[in-house]
Every structure is written in C-alpha cells, then in structure tokens.
Amino acid sequence: MHVTVLDIVLAGGGAVILLGLVAWLSPRRGRRALRQRLGVVATRLGSDTPLESRNLEESLAHLERATDAAAEAVTETTSETIRLRRALDALHLAVVIVDESGDTVFSNHRAAALMSGRHGDAIAAQAVEELLETTPLGGSEERTIELYGPPRRTLTVRTESIDNGSRSLGTIAVIEDISEHRRLEEVRRDFVANVSHELKTPMGALGLLAETLLGETEPQVARRLAQRIHHEAFRISRVIDDLIDLSRIENESSPPREPVPLNLVMAEAVERVRSAAEQNDVELVVDEPSPELMLIGDRRQLTSAIYNLLENAVKFSYEHSKVTMTGAREGEAAVVRVTDTGLGIPARDLERIFERFYRVDPGRGRSTGGTGLGLAIVRHVAANHQGSVQVESREGEGSTFIFRLPLKPRTS
C-alpha cells in the first residue's frame, strides 16, 4: 500500500510518542492502546506479521525502521527534484509544465521571465497558454511566433501531452529562441545571392566585350574594349581575393599571437592604399602613436583591417579632400581612427554596413571598384583579436571608423 510520510510521522512518530507517554502514566491501559494503534500502523505499512503479536520493543523497532526508510526516500526524491530544477534552469530553453487541470506546476527561470513579461513577451506568453490548452491527449502542437521588437525575435513553441499510459498527467511546453539561427540562414542565403550577382555581372560584361572585340577592326575601339575587359577581369579578381581573405579570417578565429608594432601595421596599410589615394587626388594624413604601441596578434590580419578602412575612406572621399588616420593608446586599448570628409552614411544604414556585400550606394560602390567585403573583413579581424570596430557618421559630412584592440588580450 501507499504510505505517505505524513502517515508515518503521525502514526509512527507523534502517535507512538503520545501513546508511550500514556503507557508510562498508566501502564496497563497505555500498552493496550499502544498495541491497537500499532495494529493500524501495521496495516498501513503492509506488514506480514501483525505488530500486535510482537512485543512492544520489536514493534517500535520495526516502526522506526519503516519511518527511517520513508524519510530516506523523501530525501532522495527531494534531491532529485532540486537537481532536475537546476538542470532545467541551466537550459537555453524556456520550459513550462501544467497539470491535467491546466495549472502551472513548474516553469524554469527563462519561462518565468517570458510568461511575466510585457509587450512582445506577453504575445509569446499568450501563444504558449493557448497551445497548452489546446494540445490533445497523447498529441503535440507547434507554432512559430514572430516578435517584431525591437529587437526582432523568432520563437518556436512546442507542446506535448504527458500521460502515464492510462490518464493525462498534464502538458509540457518548450519555447526556443531561434532568432540567431534565422538570421544566419538569411545571411547565408543573401551571401550566395550576392556572390552570384557580383560574379555574374562582370562575367556577362566580359562575354559581351570579348564578342564585340572579335568583330572590331578599328584599333582605337579595340583598345578601349581591351581596357574594359581588363577592368572587369580585375574586378572579378578583387571579389575572389576578398572572398578568400574573408574566408581565411573567419576560419582563423584564433590567429597566431605574436608581438606586432601598431606603427608598422599602419605604415604598411598606408603604402598599400597610397596609389589609390593619389589616383583619386586624396591626401593621406597619418599620426602614428608615440611612443610606439605593441599589439599581440596576427600582423597580416591587422594590416588587412586597417588597409580596408583606409581604402574605404579614400573611395568615398571627394577629390582634393583629406583622409586622416590616427593611432593612440586609450586606457588598456590601442585605438586607430580613420576619418574622411566624404559622402557620409545615412543613419538607417549604420547597423548594416559591416555585412558582407552591403553597400550604402550600390551604384557608386561598383563604380569605385568596391566589392562590398572590406568592412566585413574589418569586423572579423576585430572579433578575432577580442576588439571592436565602430562608426560615427552623418550623411554628407563624412565618417570616422574606430578600430579598437586590447593591448593585453584576454586569456581563455
């Protein structure tokens, strides 16, 4: 039979003590009452041998063992419950369990925050409650919820009926935030589409130019066509080179660590972009840090990042304008600022300019030879070196990119 702890405590604990006191006060009547009470306890415990047939000491010893066993079982059950609660609280999922009456019997920390939230969370909580109510016995339900924020989020809610084979014990709901997963899917989809477009356009141009060149007899026209073919071929080469660089930098999430002078990295980046600056009639002004700053990182990646910032500034600057790069120590970080007085960036585009192939002005970006990958490379280099990159800009007034790296990288 099922014996609860309360039964044992009342029957085997408090009652025995009370009746023992009665027995001490009135031996004959007390012993008779105690044996009767022990008979009830024996029935509850399912004992094969009636406790009334044993002497009092044996009966009390049997009762004590049964009480200890029950107390130990309760302790084990309590420990398992606590362990299960802690495990569910550690999940990156929200979990809600209701009983057969629809009353909540458990919710972990994430679920409690969701179910008591406001605005978007309140919409999600309502959807969870509806699914918990409508999930059929032995069945399951699933729903995707779009919360437009900000920030925008996507949640999936899955509910499943719980039973013991004969009757319902309630329903469990598991809520998962798949926003990042959805965002990565969109990034991959956009990446494939953008790569296809970036390569297809110049390849198509190459085909048309080559076909025209085959039938051209005028030397000057043929020369112009050949120059256009060279330009489009260079454009394809730039896209491929940037894709290779970006892929390499993404795969090198933990690049080789070696001492790298920031002054040397800045000088190498300036030399790489100098010809483009002269061609666009843009003056480069460089203020290197003094005393020299030493970084710990990958020299090739760091040079690539600063070069891309400079090239981006030069491409989008007006003729006869100036691009300034300064390096300095700020606290425990080395900071490189690249400032131009060019087109600037509209506020609506500031959060997206570090995405692959994203261009504020697609037409101007392609006309200047840009691939749309430079700032994505900068962002990944910063992340690989435990740093950050930020932008301050106003449309029509130019931009300042701030590349910040720790002088003492954190150890994992």
Residue 223 has pLDDT above 60, yes or no: yes
Can you give the CATH number for the domain in which 185 is found? 1.10.287.130
Higher per-residue pLDDT: 125 or 16: 125
Residues 135 and 266 in one domain: no
Residues 143 and 290 in one domain: no
Kindly report which listed range (58-62, 170-174, 274-278) carries the lowest average pLDDT score: 58-62
Residue 172 has pLDDT above 90, yes or no: yes
Residue 13 has pLDDT above 50, yes or no: no
Tokens for 28, please give them: 């004959």
Residues 316 and 242 in one domain: no
Q: What pLDDT does residue 322 have?
A: 92
Residues 106 and 210 in one domain: no
Instruction: Tell me what percent of the chain is helix, strand and coil, each rounded to the nearest 5.
Output: 55, 20, 25
The highest-confidence range among 184-198, 226-240, 313-327, by mean pLDDT, is: 313-327
Residues 261 and 149 in one domain: no
Residue 343 has pLDDT above 60, yes or no: yes
Residue 35 has pLDDT above 70, yes or no: no
Residues 146 and 186 in one domain: no
Residue 171 has pLDDT above 90, yes or no: yes
Tokens for 231, please give them: 């330009």
The alpha carbon dihedral of 307, 188, 390, 295 has a sign of: negative
Can you give the CATH number for the domain in which 264 is found? 3.30.565.10
Query: Is there a contact between 381 and 304 (Cβ–Cβ < 8 Å)?
Result: yes
User: How far is it, in rounded angstroms, from Cα 353 to Cα 378?
Assistant: 11
What burial class does residue 291 get, using C-beta atoms within 10 Å of its C-beta: 0-12 exposed, 13-18 middle, 19+ buried?
exposed
The domain boundary residue, chosen from 152, 177, 202:
177
* CB-based contacts of 117, cutoff 8 Å, min separation 6: 124, 125
Sequence-ordered alpha helix ranges (H) in 46-108:
56-90
Range of the domain at 63: 5-86
Q: What pLDDT does residue 3 have?
A: 44
**CA-based end-to-end distance of the chain:** 56
- Rounded to 5°, the CA angle 82-5-172 comes to 40
The residue type found at 401 is: F
Mean of pLDDT values over 204-226: 86
What's the number of domains the chain is made of?
4
Q: What pLDDT does residue 18 have?
A: 43
Residue 328 has pLDDT above 90, yes or no: yes
Q: What pLDDT does residue 7 have?
A: 47
Mean of pLDDT values over 14-43: 53
Collect contacts of 68-71 with beta carbons under 8 A, ≥24 apart. Answer: 70/3, 70/5, 70/8, 71/5, 71/8
Residues 231 and 354 in one domain: no
Mean of pLDDT values over 234-263: 78
Beta-bridge mates of residue 285: 324
CB atoms inside a 10 Å sphere around CB 195: 16
The strand ranges marked E within 248-298 are 258-261, 283-287, 294-297
Residues 167 and 196 in one domain: no
The highest-confidence range among 174-178, 184-188, 190-194, by mean pLDDT, is: 174-178
Can you give the CATH number for the domain in which 125 is found? 3.30.450.20
Query: Is there a contact between 372 and 194 (Cβ–Cβ < 8 Å)?
Result: yes
The domain boundary residue, chosen from 86, 101, 117:
86
The pLDDT confidence band at residue 286, using thresholds 50, 70 and 90, is: very high
Q: What pLDDT does residue 409 have?
A: 59
The domain boundary residue, chosen from 32, 64, 86:
86
Residues 45 and 191 in one domain: no
Buried b vs exposed e over 63-92: b needs ≥16 C-beta within 10 Å? beebbeebeeeeeeeeeeeeeeeeebeeee
- pLDDT tens digit string along 45-90? 555 555 445 566 666 666 667 676 666 666 666 777 788 888 888 8
What does pLDDT average to over the chain? 79
Share of the chain above pLDDT 90, in %: 22
The DSSP string of 159-216 is EEEEE-SSSEEEEEEEEEE-HHHHHHHHHHHHHHHHHHHHHHHHHHHHHHHHHHHHT-
Q: What pLDDT does residue 327 have?
A: 94
Residues 206 and 296 in one domain: no
Residue 99 has pLDDT above 50, yes or no: yes
The alpha carbon dihedral of 189, 193, 196, 198 has a sign of: negative
User: How far is it, in rounded angstroms, from Cα 8 to Cα 45?
Assistant: 9
Residue 253 has pLDDT above 90, yes or no: no
Residues 275 and 372 in one domain: yes
Q: Which residue from 326, 333, 307 is spatially nearest to 388, judged by alpha carbons?
A: 333
Mean of pLDDT values over 287-312: 90
Residue 412 has pLDDT above 50, yes or no: no
Higher per-residue pLDDT: 166 or 55: 166
Q: What pLDDT does residue 228 have?
A: 87
Residues 166 and 212 in one domain: no
Residue 287 has pLDDT above 90, yes or no: yes
Residue 268 has pLDDT above 80, yes or no: yes
Q: What pLDDT does residue 361 have?
A: 60
Could you identify the residue written with the tokens 């491929």? 240
- pLDDT tens digit string along 114-160? 887 777 678 888 888 889 888 888 888 999 988 887 778 899 999 99
